[in-house]
Structure 1
């Protein structure tokens, strides 16, 4: 039996850390949060003013309902069905998707790739936004 090289142990430990690292340690600050009754036009203005490309959307109780991106809202604005009265809740549809701060980064990134998402809201047990997990660009 030969001893395992220290380099191999260090590599294995680093890999284990990456696999077990949770979203809580990898998420970004929540950033701007807006109400789901806001219009698309106002949301785009908020994004421009805050120099961000995404907004967390909350309902009237302050619970996170989802995330909208500048690209998504620009697509909506260019569609034939667009009116200046269109609200974020109409763009989002059903609630989610979300992740928990206790989910591993590996699991969350896999789900994001599967759903073709670049960012995912991180919510607590009550549904309040804690932050955003964003894929590296």
Structure 2
């Protein structure tokens, strides 16, 4: 018989989802906008030159730049969501509260060295926390 954690024991690791669309902070806003539109994704994860998670860029973050500045402005100069980020052992209920306070629908999850492990979404967190005790999905 498979044992499932109760909702009070769920952690961010239980809600972790992969996300493959990333961009480095030195790429231009124009390039980021092309990826966002071409891949039909609502956000890109931003990495620094060492590959560590720098944040999350949405289309709203690229909107203030018109075409002549978007090809000159690096992604790192935009107003994108930055840390702190979630970590795998963080309790899921606490993560839900932090996301609510910060008005986040997506939150990057990093390891102790700042490397991206994936993301958690408000919808997935809410769904897991709404399950009856002992019925959490894996």
Scaled to the shorter chain, the TM-score interval is 0.7 to 0.9
CA RMSD of aligned residues (A): 2.3
Could you tell me which runs of 5 or more consecutive residues in structure 1 were left unpaired when the two chains were aligned. Answer: 1-13
1:66 maps to 55
Question: Which among 52, 69, 77 is matched to residue 65 of structure 2?
Answer: 77
Q: Is the 8 A contact 1:97 1:120 kept in 2?
A: no
User: Which structure ranks higher in relative contact order (CA pairs < 8 Å, sequence separation ≥ 6)?
Assistant: 2
Instruction: Label 1:106 to 1:43 Cα distance change in 2 as closer, same or farther (>3 A).
Output: same
Matched, 1:29 2:18: yes
Matches within 5 A, 1:99-114: 99-114=86-101
| Runs of at least 4 residues off by over 3 Å | 92-95
Equivalents in 2 of 1:58, 1:98: separation in Å? 13
Q: Is the 8 A contact 1:66 1:92 kept in 2?
A: no
TM-score calculated relative to the size of structure 2: 0.76
Count of aligned pairs between the two proteins: 119
1:7 maps to none
Matched, 1:123 2:129: no
TM-score calculated relative to the size of structure 1: 0.76
Instruction: Label 1:95 to 1:118 Cα distance change in 2 as closer, same or farther (>3 A).
Output: closer
CA-CA distance at 1:49 after TM superposition: 2.1
CA-CA distance at 1:125 after TM superposition: 0.9
Could you tell me which runs of 5 or more consecutive residues in structure 2 were left unpaired when the two chains were aligned. Answer: 125-138
